[in-house]
């Protein structure tokens, strides 16, 4: 026991001696050869985790470990040193000296210039260079933390501009005069040195003042750019809202159109069943009649065959008396039908299908009319601001000052006879030239008893007695004799309207060759010219018809774009 105690004391003394005589590294070690640095770093590593010490502790036997590593590898109730296996009698405290040495080494390594991207070397260090902490724009040099103290302690250097380390300080110097670029020429829009100032040159300020000004401008520019971003974000929101609204409208129209065509398909299917039912019924009657005749014929065939069999049996008898006694009576064969005149009734007299198809078409027309409201919601966005051309108006016609109304004045006026003027028909065209795309306008016809509304080619004849139809460059709907309506085709087509229109909408699709007329109030379709061949500019066409006494004296009024869009909005809301 004494020997063990003595041995422990000797070991402790050796460990203490080793610890106190261990050389302490300092900043100067940063300039030591790599082999010495590597050897020193090996002494500062934990032999358990093989990493640099963290909170190092030193045992009584003189070995050092990370505190956490030692705690995880030892049980202090029965603990030994992981290296020499000597007993550890108490928990070691953190070795403050060793911890500070490690921290100093770490700081030294972090301060050494390695040439990594973004690192700048100190221009004053001669051997092992350290990282620069600041760059001086006056001295045009970079300094580490050790050599930077001179700038803070020397009065004449305190006014120098220190900035974060700059890699290329040559760009901060005048290459012509070798002086710092400490001035800014607003005329040259460049940094200059004091020797670059030209005689009579104005607008030369310090780089600090110009920098402050530019930063203010930059701040304003940034604010403007932020506003631009906000505007674009707002526009994105508008686009998203418009997209959502449009998709909702598309979905609504999808279901409306699908409902109409589903109803049309159902009407056609019902009509189909109605038309096919007599055929199916006749087929069943024919099958029944044919089956009855076949069964009757087969029964008679069996009866005749049985009679033949009986005759065969008695025909071989040699006994004359027995033959005569068994000879059958042929009276029973007298009820057999004479089939020469019997025929299957194959007549197919069903009458016509006109009544069924007419009703079907009427119902389909009613269903298809529901699509008109969808069309009237779409087309107002193509509204054009139509105004009347006074140079084309017949002498009896009176136009309003704004070119939106036309009426029959009742008397011929003295006006120049222009080539564009109608000389016999009381008509007028609009100033708007339609040469492409889609166009829409509405006309208030009120209670008038007669009017013409449509479009006309620019080169259509306007002189003498006109034949208004597509062959002559006119696509027109007419109301006449109080209650009659027609499309001026060749020949004219009589139109049957359920209601008297008070506002008529005209839609032109130039590329599709389409001119459609709508009763805007009733939201119904009046007539459409399709597959039209325009091949020239078109003009809106109007005729208020001649007024008779107090009848038909109201004007034709072209509705403004705003009115059309407001009505369309109301229809969409509905």
Distance of CA 262 to the CA centre of its chain: 29
HEC string of 82-115 equals CCCCCECCCCCCECHHHHHHHHHHHHHHHHECCC
Q: Closest Cα to residue 506, out of 422, 382, 373, 367?
A: 382
Say how far apart CA 86 and CA 72 lie, in whole Å. 17
Q: Distances in Å between the alpha carbon of 142 and those of 110, 139, 156, 353?
A: 17, 9, 17, 105
**Predicted local confidence at residue 20, as pLDDT:** 31
* 449 and 481 Cβ atoms separated by less than 8 Å: yes
For residue 123, what is the DSSP state? S
**Which positions ≥6 away from 79 have C-beta within 8 Å?**
87, 88
> In a structure prediction context, what are the per-residue pLDDT tens digits for the chain, which is 574 residues long?
333 333 334 433 333 333 333 333 343 444 455 455 556 677 788 988 888 888 899 888 888 899 888 888 776 446 788 888 888 777 688 888 888 888 877 766 667 776 678 778 888 787 777 788 788 877 778 888 777 877 777 777 776 778 778 777 766 778 777 777 778 888 888 888 877 887 656 688 887 888 888 889 999 999 999 999 999 999 999 999 999 988 998 898 889 889 889 999 998 999 888 888 888 888 998 999 999 989 989 988 888 888 888 888 888 888 888 888 777 665 556 567 778 778 887 777 666 788 888 888 888 888 888 788 888 888 888 999 999 999 999 999 999 999 999 999 888 888 888 889 998 899 999 999 999 999 999 999 999 999 999 999 999 999 888 889 999 999 999 999 888 999 999 999 999 998 899 999 999 999 999 999 999 988 889 999 999 989 899 999 999 998 775 788 899 999 875 555 555 555 445 4
Res 6: pLDDT: 37
Biggest CA–CA distance in the chain, Å, is: 173
Least Cα distance to 540 among 444, 443, 467 occurs for 443
Token couple for 424: 């016999």
Taking each helix axis as running N to C, give the angle between helix 354-368 and helix 207-314, from 0 to 180 degrees, rounded to the nearest 10.
Answer: 160
pLDDT value, residue 39: 62
The enclosing H or E element of 50 equals none
Query: Do the beta carbons of residue 494 and residue 486 sit within 8 Å?
Result: yes
Count of C-beta atoms within a 10 Å radius of residue 87: 13
**Order of strands across the sheet that contains 204-206:** 190-192, 183-185, 204-206
Question: By three-state DSSP, how is residue 389 classified?
Answer: coil
The secondary structure of residue 169, as a DSSP letter, is G
pLDDT at position 333 = 60
Instruction: Quote the pLDDT of residue 570.
Output: 53
Of 55, 54, 46, 52, the residue nearest 82 (C-alpha): 46
Nearest to 380 by CA among 559, 112, 548: 559
Cβ neighbours, 10 Å, residue 248: 10
What distance in Å separates the CA atoms of residue 211 and residue 205, rounded to the nearest whole number?
Answer: 10
- Predicted local distance difference test score (pLDDT) of residue 398: 93
> Is-contact 258 371, C-beta < 8 A?
no
Q: Residue 541 in contact with residue 452, Cβ under 8 Å?
A: yes
Compute the distance between CA of residue 422 and CA of residue 435 in angstroms, rounded to an integer. 22
The partner residues of 85 in beta bridges, in order of sequence, read none
Quote the CA–CA distance of 528 and 526 in Å, as a whole number: 7
Q: Quick one: which of 156, 107, 159 has its CA closest to 133?
A: 107
Distances in Å between the Cα of 248 and the Cα atoms of 149, 252, 255, 495, 569 are 72, 6, 11, 36, 15
- In 315-369, alpha helices (H): 320-326, 354-368
Question: How many other CB atoms sit within 10 Å of the CB of residue 566?
Answer: 13
**Cα four-point dihedral sign 423, 428, 434, 438:** negative
Place of tokens 């300020």: 205
Three-state SS at 214: helix
Q: Whole-angstrom Cα distance, residue 235 to residue 181?
A: 45
The kind and range of the H/E element at 143 are strand 141-143
Q: DSSP labels for 398-420?
A: EE-TTS-EEEE-SS-------TT
C-alpha to C-alpha distance for 161 and 183, rounded to whole angstroms: 13
Six-digit token pair at 366?
């009613």
Q: Are 48 and 65 in contact (CB under 8 A)?
A: yes
The pLDDT assigned to 307 comes to 82
Tokens of 65: 């470990």
DSSP classification of residue 345 = -
Contact predicate 440/380, CB 8 Å = yes
The 8-class DSSP code of residue 327 comes to P
């Amino acid at each position: 026991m004494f020997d063990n105690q003595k041995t422990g004391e000797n070991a402790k003394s050796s460990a203490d001696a080793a610890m106190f005589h261990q050389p302490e590294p300092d900043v100067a070690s940063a300039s030591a050869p790599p082999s010495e640095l590597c050897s020193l770093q090996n002494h500062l590593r934990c032999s358990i985790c093989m990493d640099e010490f963290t909170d190092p502790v030193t045992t009584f036997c003189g070995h050092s470990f990370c505190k956490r590593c030692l705690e995880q590898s030892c049980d202090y109730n029965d603990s030994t040193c992981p290296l020499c296996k000597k007993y550890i009698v108490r928990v070691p405290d953190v070795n403050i000296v060793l911890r500070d040495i490690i921290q100093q080494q770490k700081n030294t390594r972090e301060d050494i210039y390695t040439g990594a991207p973004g690192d700048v070397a100190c221009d004053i260090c001669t051997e092992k260079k350290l990282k620069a902490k600041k760059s001086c724009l006056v001295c045009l040099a970079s300094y580490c933390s050790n050599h930077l103290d001179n700038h803070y302690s020397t009065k004449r250097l305190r006014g120098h501009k220190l900035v974060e380390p700059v890699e290329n300080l040559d760009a901060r110097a005048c290459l012509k005069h070798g002086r710092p670029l400490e001035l800014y020429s607003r005329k040259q829009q460049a940094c200059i040195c004091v020797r670059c100032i030209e005689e009579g040159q104005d607008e030369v300020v310090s780089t600090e003042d110009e920098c402050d000004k530019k930063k203010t401008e930059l701040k304003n520019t940034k604010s403007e750019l932020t506003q631009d971003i906000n505007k674009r974000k707002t526009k994105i929101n508008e686009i998203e809202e418009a997209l959502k609204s449009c998709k909702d409208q598309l979905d609504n129209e999808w279901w409306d159109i699908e409902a109409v065509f589903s109803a049309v398909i159902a009407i056609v299917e019902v009509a189909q069943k109605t038309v096919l039912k007599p055929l199916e019924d006749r087929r069943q009657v024919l099958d029944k009649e044919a089956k009855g005749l076949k069964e009757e014929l087969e029964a008679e065939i069996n009866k005749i065959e049985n009679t033949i069999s009986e005759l065969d049996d008695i025909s071989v008898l040699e006994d004359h008396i027995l033959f005569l006694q068994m000879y059958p009576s042929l009276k029973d064969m007298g009820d057999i039908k004479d089939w020469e005149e019997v025929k299957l009734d194959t007549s197919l007299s069903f009458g016509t299908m006109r009544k069924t198809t007419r009703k079907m078409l009427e119902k389909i027309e009613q269903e298809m009319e529901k699509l008109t409201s969808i069309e009237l919601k779409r087309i107002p966005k193509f509204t054009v601001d139509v105004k009347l051309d006074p140079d084309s108006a017949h002498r009896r016609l009176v136009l309003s000052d704004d070119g939106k109304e036309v009426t029959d004045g009742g008397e011929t006026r003295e006006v120049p006879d222009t080539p564009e003027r109608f000389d016999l028909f009381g008509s007028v065209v609009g100033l708007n030239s339609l040469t492409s795309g889609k166009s829409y306008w509405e006309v208030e016809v009120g209670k008038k008893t007669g009017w013409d509304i449509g479009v006309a080619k620019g080169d259509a004849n306007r002189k003498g007695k006109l034949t208004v139809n597509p062959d002559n460059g006119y696509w027109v709907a007419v109301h006449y004799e109080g209650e009659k309506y027609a499309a001026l085709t060749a020949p004219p087509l009589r139109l049957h309207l359920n209601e008297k229109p008070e506002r008529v909408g005209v839609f032109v699709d130039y590329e599709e060759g389409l001119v459609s007329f709508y009763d805007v109030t009733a939201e119904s379709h009046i007539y459409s010219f399709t597959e039209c061949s325009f091949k020239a500019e078109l003009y809106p066409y109007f005729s208020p018809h001649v007024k008779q006494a107090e009848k038909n004296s109201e004007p034709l009024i072209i509705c403004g774009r705003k009115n059309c869009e407001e009505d369309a909005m109301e229809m969409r809301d509905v």
